[in-house]
Amino acid sequence: MTDLLFTRVRLLDPASGLDRPGALLVRDGAILDFGAALGQPEGAEVIDGAGAVLCPGLVDLRAALGEPGFEYRETIGSAALAAAAGGITTIAVLPDSRPAIDDPALVQFLRARGDATGSLTLLPYGAVTRGCRGEELAEFGLLREAGAIAFSDGARTIGPASLMRRALSYAHGFGARIVQHPEEPSLAAGAAATEGELATRLGLPGIPACAEAIMVVRDIHLAELTGGMVHFSRLSTAAALDLVRAAKSRGLPVTCDTAPPYFALNEMAIGEFRSYAKLSPPLRAEADRAAVAAALADGTIDAVVSDHQPRDADDKRLPFAEAAPGGAGLATLLAVTLAEVHGGRLSLTRAVELLTAAPAALFGIAAGRLQKGAPADLCLFHLDRAWRVVAGELPGKAQNTPFDGRALEGRVIGTWKAGRRVFG
């Protein structure tokens, strides 16, 4: 493999605090050296960054990839194209596929399928319950041994308190987290939007925002009882974030993430029944959106995830209440997060940390940092380059973006996996 030399780049590595102009040298797929200036080895391929930011490849802790079972929505191959365009080199895959990832062979299958793309490391979640049906616990030990990074039932809430207690205790024995979709099931049933004036005006069945906090407070108590680690995914309300903030201050093993729609959009984005903006959890009131944005900066939120949920036209071209929830998020993950930087609400280092080092550290993933000897998983992006999100023109198969028509600043111009260029 030819040596690869990046010159005139802004080296950004939140894990080590590195943020300065310089160069980086890749040899045999690994980072050989980086610094203020490096000599050019004979025969090396030179990438002139012209001041662009070079950071670790992004680590996405939550995505559904359509395969197995929903290939008409997305395949691993098409998702790999979208991920590479978004600077993502590592993805944690949700287990609520068809069949669900409740068998060690399926964990191994997904990891191998990721390797086969040449551009992605796929890290599957193991199902908490068999078939993600919320009844009988899956075999955590075998799933963990096969390579499951944590346990979740994906978009399904682990509802019964006794079941969640057993899951936390069981996972604790393997040093693994339970990843919860925090939404009280009986309050969420049949809902299409956040309960309030807008949902009433549109005649949509609503879910009260407190449904999230109700589940969060319950599971915080169960984590304290069992010593198990709980991770709340896609937090979207001020009340839930306050609970997590308080739990962390007490030293409890509680962590959380959110996704770009919850700090970049509010419930008004559903407009007149705009189904691309129908998500789960639903978009919230402006006060909640602002609280999520503030929690990114103050450290309450541990990571930003794409929450990539591919849907096809037939899933979305239905009356709003009947349309499937979910949005495509791989190609827009970085740029929407960078909007917080451009708005002065988040430092660039913190924004990149939420997408690289922080999620990697959370789940013990060997990625998300610039380190000599480590695989050269890299993302090169222009911080200020403008572009517009257009559904139908995104890379990959899934086009159901809630950001359709939005102008963004910050664009990936190159992605490398183990030193091989996979985008740009």
pLDDT (tens place) for every residue of the chain, 424 residues total: 899 999 999 999 999 999 999 999 999 999 999 999 899 999 999 999 999 999 999 999 999 999 999 999 999 999 999 999 999 999 999 999 999 999 999 999 999 999 999 999 999 999 999 999 999 999 999 999 999 999 999 999 999 999 999 999 999 999 999 999 999 999 999 999 999 999 999 999 999 999 999 999 999 999 999 999 999 999 999 999 999 999 999 999 999 999 999 999 999 999 989 999 999 999 999 999 999 999 999 999 999 999 999 999 999 999 999 999 999 999 999 999 999 999 999 999 999 999 999 999 999 999 999 999 999 999 999 999 999 999 999 999 999 999 999 999 999 999 999 999 999 9
Q: Which two tokens stand for residue 205?
A: 């069945």
Domain hosting 200: range is 57-362
- Asked if 151 contacts 140 with a C-beta cutoff of 8 angstroms, the reply is yes
Say how far apart CA 355 and CA 304 lie, in whole Å: 6
Answer yes or no: is 277 within a domain. Answer: yes
**CB within 8 Å of 95: residues ≥ 6 apart:** 101, 102, 124, 125, 126, 127, 132, 152, 153, 154
Cα distances from 179 to residues 76, 92, 142, 255, 357, in angstroms, run 22, 12, 18, 9, 19
Answer yes or no: is 250 within a domain. Answer: yes
69 CB neighbour count, 10 Å cutoff: 12
Answer yes or no: is 13 within a domain. Answer: no
Q: Which two tokens stand for residue 21?
A: 């102009």
Catalytic annotation, residues = 307
Answer yes or no: is 272 within a domain. Answer: yes
CB-side exposure of 34: number of CA atoms within 13 Å?
31
Answer yes or no: is 345 within a domain. Answer: yes
Q: Which CATH number is 330's domain given?
A: 3.20.20.140
Answer yes or no: is 410 within a domain. Answer: no
Answer yes or no: is 308 within a domain. Answer: yes
Q: How many domains does the chain have?
A: 1
**CB within 8 Å of 196: residues ≥ 6 apart:** 206, 209, 267, 285
Answer yes or no: is 166 within a domain. Answer: yes
Q: Which residue is associated with the tokens 């091989």? A: 420
- Asked if 120 contacts 308 with a C-beta cutoff of 8 angstroms, the reply is no
